[in-house]
Amino acid sequence: MKEQLTPLEDAQLQVLASLPRLDSESIPLSAGNGRVSAENVVTSEAIPPFRNSAMDGYAVIAEDLTGAPVSLDVIAGVAAGSVTGVDVRPGAAIKIMTGAPVPDGADSVVPVELTSVEGGRVTIHEAVATGNAIRQAGSDLSSGTTVLQAGVTLTAYHLGVLASIGHSDLVVSRLPSVAIMSTGNEVMSPQTRELEPGQIRDSNRTVMRALLEDLGVDVLDFGILADDPDIVGRTLTKAAAEADVVVTSGGVSMGEFDYVRDVMARLGAATSWKVAMQPAKPFTFGTVDGTPVFGLPGNPVSVSVAFEQFLRPGLLSMMGADRMFRPRVLAVAETAFTTAIAKTVFLRVCLRNDARGLVASLAGGQGSHQLGALADADGLAVVERGIDVVPAGSDVWVELHRAPAQVTLADRCQPDGPSG
């Protein structure tokens, strides 16, 4: 019998559509880095607020400089942070520092490098155009400009703009709290020294915590659960009461001890999919007492791919972020990539720049248990359904996890060293 698979986009749309929107809160500007704005900000001030000098030099009337060199009377000086009541008149100059208000009457600033001074007079050696080295009021932002939209994830530069207009209290989306837990009788704490036969260490919780920390969210750790429906049920209920979102790993497949699916269905509404994706085909999403629960698969690479395709966009959409996915770049496949025609396939790839532009090469073994290749990878090549092979040299989209390697540095994916 042919397996019924749900297209990835359908599962994503269904998950995103059912997530609640978090409310907003007020925070100081200094706490804004990485937060998602929940307000539109319009500046009522022009930036810069006044016409000022872009250089240290002399404020002059450009017309006075025809036939340079010319000599002008230095009638005053003005530094940043002060104003002069003196106007520039024909035949005169005012000494001015970068950032100081340009005195009335002047239409240009001559950089100090083009001048020499003697006594109370300055010689201007070269003429400059009208407006030279003057920053007009409002030339960065004019009053009435929308400087920030709701949904923008704030960077240092957004914060800088907000600082410049004196917007010192921000309205941002609240950060969700996320409960994490691993399941599996074989799964042991990472602190376990000696594993008994059949046991493995829990890597998923560590991965999930770090990926969540990247989003700045508050992580509540519910540890490792045995494959026992009562324990899973009790812990899910407790976690759902304490957190905005619950994430589990393992126990959503077709195995005899995969209880997470059944328990979620018993406790609330849950949909278990076989998503047309590789890895991370089994995936369960539902609610327990109204709290969204993401049931990720157990295999470590599946956890990461399901996190990237469902949880990360889900949390960002709860925060109202307008950019929910990792950036995608186009790269050239170094070798042929063989994939599965019925699924959206995510391949762990390394990226480097050469004469062809970005080049993607497989980071190592592509099994869903091979976390080592994921650690080496710069991102995931995304090969859509309907394609079974990406020929060497053809274009492939890559979802970036980090910046590509520099050509000049040793590249673990290129045993012969970088080419091109």
Q: Name the residues that contact ligand AMP, by CB under 6 A.
A: 182, 184, 186-187, 200, 202-204, 249-251, 253, 255, 258, 297-300
Task: Tell me the C-alpha to C-alpha distance, in Å, between residue 1 and each of 4, 382.
Answer: 9, 27
Closest distance of CB 243 from Mg ion, Å: 22
Computed on alpha carbons and rounded to an integer, the radius of gyration of the chain in Å comes to 30
Does position 250 bind Mg ion by CB under 5 A? yes
Closer residue to Mg ion, CB minimum distance, 190 or 386: 190
- The contacts of residue 232 (CB under 8 Å, 6+ apart) are 183, 225, 251, 259, 260, 263
SS3 318: helix
Q: Which does 253 bind (CB under 5 to 8 A by kind): Mg ion, ligand AMP, none?
A: ligand AMP
- The contacts of residue 214 (CB under 8 Å, 6+ apart) are none
Closer residue to ligand AMP, CB minimum distance, 105 or 365: 365
Does position 282 bind Mg ion by CB under 5 A? no
Q: Which does 52 bind (CB under 5 to 8 A by kind): Mg ion, ligand AMP, none?
A: none
Does position 184 bind Mg ion by CB under 5 A? yes
Does position 404 bind Mg ion by CB under 5 A? no
Residue 98 DSSP class: T
Does position 300 bind Mg ion by CB under 5 A? no
Does position 57 bind Mg ion by CB under 5 A? no
Does position 297 bind Mg ion by CB under 5 A? no
Closer residue to ligand AMP, CB minimum distance, 72 or 263: 263
Closer residue to ligand AMP, CB minimum distance, 107 or 186: 186
Closer residue to ligand AMP, CB minimum distance, 160 or 255: 255
Binding range to Mg ion, per CB under 5 A, among 158-166, 216-224, 250-258, 326-334: 250-258
Closest distance of CB 40 from ligand AMP, Å: 42
* Structure-block tokens of residue 317: 């959409």
C-beta of residue 315 within 8 angstroms of C-beta of residue 176: yes
Between CA 50 and CA 43 the distance in angstroms is: 15
Closer residue to ligand AMP, CB minimum distance, 209 or 326: 209
Q: Which does 186 bind (CB under 5 to 8 A by kind): Mg ion, ligand AMP, none?
A: ligand AMP
Closer residue to Mg ion, CB minimum distance, 233 or 250: 250
Closer residue to Mg ion, CB minimum distance, 58 or 273: 273
Half-sphere exposure of 154 (CA within 13 A, CB side): 31
Closest distance of CB 370 from Mg ion, Å: 18
Bridge-based pairing state of the strands 344-354 and 277-278: parallel
| Stretch (H or E) spanning 204 | helix 204-214
In single-letter form, the type of residue at position 296 comes to L
Does position 364 bind Mg ion by CB under 5 A? no
Cα dihedral: 376, 382, 383, 384 (round 10): 160
In single-letter form, the type of residue at position 176 comes to P
Q: Which does 200 bind (CB under 5 to 8 A by kind): ligand AMP, Mg ion, none?
A: ligand AMP
Crossing angle of helices 260-267 and 229-242, in 10° steps, is 60
Closest distance of CB 227 from ligand AMP, Å: 8
Between CA 53 and CA 79 the distance in angstroms is: 10
Closest distance of CB 3 from ligand AMP, Å: 17
C-beta of residue 177 within 8 angstroms of C-beta of residue 244: yes
Which residue, among 133, 303, 75, has the nearest Cα to 210 in the 3D structure? Answer: 303
- The contacts of residue 317 (CB under 8 Å, 6+ apart) are 16, 19, 324
Between CA 290 and CA 156 the distance in angstroms is: 36
Closest distance of CB 271 from Mg ion, Å: 20
Q: Which residue is nearest to ligand AMP (CB)?
A: 298
Interface map 207-246 toward Mg ion (x if CB under 5 A):
----------------------------------------
Closer residue to ligand AMP, CB minimum distance, 215 or 252: 252
Between CA 46 and CA 136 the distance in angstroms is: 10
| Pure H helices in 215-268 | 229-242, 260-267
Q: Which does 176 bind (CB under 5 to 8 A by kind): ligand AMP, Mg ion, none?
A: none
Which residues lie near Mg ion (CB under 5 A)? 184, 250-251, 298
